[in-house]
Amino acid sequence: MKFKLPAYTEPDFSVKSLCGAPDALFAGAPADFVAPEGYHATTIFPEYFKVSGKWRLAKSSRMDCVAILEGGDIHVREFRHIKRGDLVAIGRTEDGRDGIYVHPNGFAAQQAAAQESFSFRQGRSRETAFSVDYDFLYDMLRHDRENGYIVWVMGPACAFDADSRKAFSGLVEKGFVNALLAGNALATHDLEGAYRKTALGQDIYTQEPFPNGHYNHIDTLNRVRLHGSMERFVEEEGLDDGIICSCLQNRVPVVLVGSVRDDGPMPEVFSDAYAGQDAMRLHLSRATAVIAMATTLHTIAAGNITPMFHVMRDGTVRPVYFYTVDISEFSANKLADRGSLSAKSIITNVQDFIVQLSKALGAWNG
């Protein structure tokens, strides 16, 4: 069955509560990085602001930001990007009474399923049947390869297995990856796999430990820094397998954001967390699908940046599909507790997940 995006239904602005709503109020920011008192904090949902009698949709959103009126349009910006004098939306209600309307159910007509007042297994756990999720993913990724922007968020476990590295490389080569977001560890252990055929000193396939194998990842880091960049390292050492090699060879952007525990790190790693967040935001604001695997902190960071909708170039509003994949129920479901209510979790081994996905999409070259 051909994949079809659900239609978006705008709010009914003819109802009394919205038709008679006042224009939204905007107040000048008193200083750089500071919002005026009573500012409105944005959500992941579509939000409309009434300006000069007309409801305007903020084209891109993210939670815990502010809405700024500029050039007649509504721009959603982080607090650290507020400039003194910016016109920031004021109002703490979301039902139109302050000229602000949050619309969480724009895709509800197509997505809602009948709910019994009492039923079993409504949560997402290791007992959940995920077959329908896989089938949907296959169809959606085929659609978005041609019509969207697919962002992957990956933890180092994705690089600890020979088949998972091969599977993701196939997805890159077949066009199912538009951007990769990760930390220093994913790049380090994947390049260790290409350079020394190990991951944290264990054979990438058999898991047999190498003598002095605990040196392998820092030897890799050291060698990359000698060459000055991951790309130069790959070229000079003649490497051609794995996640990072495939991304570099296919010109897929890789955004690596560091943490306080990093070794090295790789030369490309953002050490400034906010600069790294901005780099992630650049891709996540374009995303139509996000798949986050085996990384709790990076998944939460990506989820908090990503809206649940995307406005296409032709003005069409479509959902952003966000999947979290982890063997731990806690890690996979934690994102919803942080406000990303549209994220869907799959509880499974990420290495098995990516291999199955690659095979189903015709990207497996094992």
Torsion of CA 335, 340, 344, 349, to 10 degrees: -20
**Which pLDDT value is given to residue 120?**
45
**Which pLDDT value is given to residue 345?**
87
Per-residue pLDDT of the chain (366 residues; tens, 9 = 90+): 578 899 999 999 999 999 999 999 999 999 999 999 999 999 999 999 999 999 999 988 899 999 999 999 999 999 999 999 999 999 999 999 999 999 998 987 544 444 445 444 556 776 677 788 999 999 999 999 999 999 999 999 999 999 999 999 999 999 999 999 999 999 999 999 999 999 999 999 999 999 999 999 999 999 999 999 999 999 999 999 999 999 999 999 999 999 998 988 999 999 999 999 999 999 999 999 999 999 988 999 999 999 999 999 898 999 999 999 998 887 777 777 665 567 888 899 999 999 999 999 999 977
Q: Is 126 exposed, middle or buried (0-12, 13-18, 19+ CB in 10 A)?
A: exposed
**Which pLDDT value is given to residue 284?**
96
Tokens of 284: 């996540």
Q: Name residues whose C-beta falls within 8 Å of residue 196's C-beta, 6 or more positions apart in sequence.
A: 210, 216, 219, 220
**Which pLDDT value is given to residue 252?**
98
**Which pLDDT value is given to residue 110?**
45
Tokens of 233: 């390292």
**Which pLDDT value is given to residue 112?**
47
Question: How many other β-carbons are positioned within 10 Å of the β-carbon of residue 135?
Answer: 12
**Which pLDDT value is given to residue 118?**
45
Question: Rounded distance, CA 166 to CA 162, Å?
Answer: 6
Tokens of 265: 């790190």
Q: 86 near 74, Cβ under 8 Å?
A: no
Set out the domains of the chain in order of their start, with CATH numbers. Answer: 16-106 (2.40.420.10), 131-360 (3.40.50.10690)
**Which pLDDT value is given to residue 244?**
98
Q: 323 near 137, Cβ under 8 Å?
A: yes
Phi/psi at 300 (nearest 5 deg)? Answer: -65, -40
Question: Rounded distance, CA 9 to CA 105, Å?
Answer: 8
User: Regarding beta strands 202-203 and 321-326, do their DSSP bridges make them parallel or antiparallel, or are they unpaired?
Assistant: unpaired
pTM value is 0.92
